[in-house]
Amino acid sequence: MVEASARALAGTNRYPDASGVALRTTIAQWHGLDSSLPLTLDNVAVGTGSSALIQQAVLACCRGGDGVDGSTPDEVIYPWRSFEAYPIFAMVAGAKAVEIPLDAELRNDLGAMAAAVTERTRLIIVCNPNNPTSTTVTRTELEIFLDSVPDHVHVLLDEAYFEYVRNEKSPDGLSLLDRYPNLAVARTFSKAFGLAGLRVGYLIGHPEFITAVNQVSIPFSVNSVAQAAAVASIEARRELLARTDDTVAQRTRILDRLPESLQGQAEANFVWLQLGDRAREFADALAERHVVVRCFDGDGVRITVTDEAETDALLTALDVVGIDDFARR
């Protein structure tokens, strides 16, 4: 990957391939094997991270109300709490954000999301696994949901953390594409493929939707180094994906150490602790022991799972700060 990036760097006096043909073709060939649809590059959009593609999808689907003629904005439904950028994407498009609280197990509440559809709904984002709670829905639940969503409402399944999922009941969005023409699946090279700094993500779906998403892209958005590195990372995927097993092993160690009341599902490369109003105190106590976690004040903390040495440090810090006491309070 480094070599491919270095070669591409030598040619950066030229513009990148605006259509990302080599990368889109490579993605189509790779996922053509596990997708329920025969894939060509027309089924694939690439963008500067899956963030860009999700924002483009909102822009492509939703028209904002202009406030002058009194027109009402289109609606985008998404789970909450979830990826912090979703509200920003809705705002950028001028769409009305319809945030649906997670269910009691901190998963996307698909029943409530389907029930929230109105005549103004244009797009529903499903985040699986959900960031930051690390929870998944089942394939059956997703199918029931997709069956109940009207055909003209698009569903974007955000699978940024797909490669870390080990729960066999969790769906692979690509296997559902043939049955749902309104479904598209977003994935990224930022997480399991280790290219976060280069900013490349992709969206797989039906050609009309992919065309609409591409139409609102910034020209030449994915640079040539990122395109080359992403192709090389697909070629090296066996090695890269094998590394997710190491992350999953550390995730299991963390889960095993948690008191039962804090043990939920963890299917991404982070673990969520639902600590409510103890979250800030807990995060500060860990920070004093040089362990930095993401605190969502009044709600919980997200602990990113990394390598064995950092997990050792985390487990020691959990003992020192008294995780069991935090759980009891």
Residue 38: CB minimum distance to ligand PLP, A: 25
Amino acid in the structure at residue 195: L
201 binds ligand PLP (CB under 6 A): yes
Start-end of H helices in 16-137: 21-32, 49-61, 85-93, 110-115
If the CB atoms of residues 213 and 285 are measured against ligand PLP, the closer one turns out to be: 213
Among positions 88-127, residues that touch ligand PLP (CB under 6 A) are 127
Binding residues for ligand PLP, rule CB under 6 A, total 12
Among positions 49-68, residues that touch ligand PLP (CB under 6 A) are 49-51
DSSP-derived letter for residue 189 is: S
CA distances from 109 to 123, 135, 181, 182, 239 (A): 16, 11, 22, 19, 35
Residue 53: CB minimum distance to ligand PLP, A: 8
If the CB atoms of residues 50 and 214 are measured against ligand PLP, the closer one turns out to be: 50
Q: Give the count of beta carbons closer than 10 Å to the beta carbon of residue 21.
A: 12
| Chosen residue from 160, 222, 240, 275 binding ligand PLP by CB under 6 A | 160
Which of these segments, 10-18, 36-44, 46-54, 214-222, binds ligand PLP (CB under 6 A)? Answer: 46-54
Residues in contact with 208: Cβ distance below 8 Å, sequence separation at least 6, in sequence order: none
If the CB atoms of residues 121 and 134 are measured against ligand PLP, the closer one turns out to be: 134
Region of residue 134 (left: phi > 0; alpha: psi -120 to 50; beta: else): left
Closest C-alpha among 170, 64, 70, 62 to residue 125:
62
- Which residue has its beta carbon closest to ligand PLP? 49
158 binds ligand PLP (CB under 6 A): yes
Angle between helices 2-9 and 224-235 (to 10 degrees): 160
Binding site for ligand PLP (CB under 6 A): 49-51, 83, 127, 131, 158, 160, 188, 190, 196, 201
